[in-house]
């Protein structure tokens, strides 16, 4: 499972609530044999990169927006 939600503020950093939600979903998934692979925060910045067809291969195969 991949969790995805948006931050209309444009802030790409996960909030404490985001971290708690990811942890709770991961723990719940273990009981159902479902693995949480990632939690993506969608912002206007990511939207613009997707629209421009950003070449992730030039960046080692990953888009990393967090420290």
In a domain? residue 28:
yes
Query: Based on the number of CB atoms within 10 Å of its own CB, is 35 exposed (0-12), middle (13-18) or buried (19 or more)?
Result: exposed
In degrees, rounded to 5, the angle at the alpha carbon of residue 67 between the alpha carbons of residues 9 and 10 is: 10
Q: Tell me the residue range of the domain where 55 lies.
A: 2-59
Domain CATH code at residue 51: 3.40.140.10
Structure confidence at residue 31 (pLDDT)? 94
Both tokens assigned to 11? 């802030």
Q: How many structural domains compose the chain?
A: 1
Structure confidence at residue 67 (pLDDT)? 36
In a domain? residue 65:
no
Q: What pLDDT, in 10s, does the model give residues 8-64? A: 888 878 889 999 999 999 999 999 999 998 888 887 766 555 565 555 444 555 555
CA separation for the pair 7, 42 (Å, rounded): 6
């Amino acid at each position: 499972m991949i969790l995805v939600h948006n931050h209309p503020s444009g802030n790409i950093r996960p909030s404490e609530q985001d971290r708690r939600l990811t942890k709770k979903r991961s723990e719940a998934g273990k009981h159902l044999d479902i693995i949480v692979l990632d939690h993506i925060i969608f912002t206007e910045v990511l939207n613009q990169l997707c629209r421009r067809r950003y070449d992730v291969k030039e960046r080692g195969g990953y888009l990393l927006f967090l420290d």
